[in-house]
Amino acid sequence: MRRAALILLPYSWLIALFLVPFLIVIKISLSDIALAIPPYTPNLDLSQGWAGIKDFLSQLDLDNFKFLTTDDLYWKAYLSSLRIALLSTFLTLCVAYPLAYGMARAPDEWRPTLMMLVILPFWSSFLIRVYSWKAILANEGLLNQFLMLIRVIDEPLTILNTPTAVYIGIVYTYLPFMVLPLYSALEKLDGSLLEAAEDLGCTRFQAFWLVTFPLSRNGIIAGCFLVFIPVMGEFVIPALLGGSQTLMIGKVLWEEFFSNRDWPVASAVAVILLAILVIPIVLFQRNEEKQREAEG
């Protein structure tokens, strides 16, 4: 009974907070837009019994999914989101790896402080942190003023409302999600392996590439998944920093829901996005299982 109760608790949580809402989204995606509250039809009327259920099911269709294939906006948004997510993940990895490596090689008494500095941004609002980049990247912002002060540039650079600003915002926001798994993997690295590699004739770079990098692979995979998956559906950063020039599916999804009030099409967009994200989620879970088996 205790074991069943322990298993039932997380499954009940998943059913209530994931499966049921997802089924509702699927139902809306098979509906049609209507000038009503809620803004779609049909609605299930259980008072009519089985006849009402049959009538409800007969009115559901796949027209919204067919519509997504006829409009270039949606598949371009998916491809653009995929490209931005992949490049952002790579850039975040390039920035996070040296930080995690330095934290792992730092003296033991400094590691808690460095860890706190990585987690410190989470103590403030995500929206405020992203919005502050508008003041930094604007034409009259702090970055342009500093570059003009040291005479690197003669006139302000246009960074805000460009893809560059989106990449800066994503790397800054999701950097801790990459640093923490990398640090966890690098901290466990046995330093004697590097010494042995150097004794066998490897240079420091060769020792890093042949020993350190392969042994940190699990941290790299985990960090990349933790960044890539949420970035695919990101809409706050593109909306605040990217302007109209940046096309991402999360931004399109928000506009369909709140601007166009086309809930059926927006739900269809969300279903396809989730179907795309299932692949990296499954791969991430398999990597975690392999890591646990290896440690066990």
Is residue 166 classed exposed, middle or buried when 0-12, 13-18 and 19+ CB atoms within 10 A define those classes?
buried
State the total domains in the chain. Answer: 1
For residue 263, tell me if it sits in a domain.
Answer: yes
Question: Which distant-in-sequence residues (6+ apart) come within 8 Å of 160 by Cβ?
Answer: 134, 137, 138, 139, 141, 241, 243
pLDDT given at position 28: 93
Global confidence as pTM: 0.86
- Torsion (CA) 70, 72, 73, 77 in degrees, nearest 10: 110
CATH number for 186: 1.10.3720.10
Q: At what angle do helices 163-187 and 111-119 cross, to 10 degrees?
A: 150
**Residue 256 is part of which domain span?**
63-295
Does some domain include residue 44?
no
Contact assessment for residue 207 and residue 221, using Cβ atoms and an 8 Å cutoff:
no
d(CA 145, CA 123): 28
Contact 98, 186 (CB under 8 A): no
Please indicate, yes or no, if residue 32 is contained in any of the structural domains.
Answer: no
Residues of the chain with pLDDT below 70 are 295-296
Does the residue 45 lie in any domain?
Answer: no
Q: Is residue 200 part of a domain?
A: yes
Nearest to 198 by CA among 189, 185, 208, 187: 208
Instruction: With H, G, I as helix, E, B as strand and everything else as coil, classify residue 110.
Output: coil
What is the predicted pLDDT for the residue at 83?
94
Domain contains 203: yes
Q: In the prediction, which pLDDT does 295 show?
A: 66
Q: What is the pLDDT of residue 296?
A: 62
Residues in Cβ contact with 233 at an 8 Å cutoff, skipping those fewer than 6 apart:
81, 249, 250, 253, 273, 277
Flag whether 40 is in a domain.
no
Q: Is residue 288 part of a domain?
A: yes
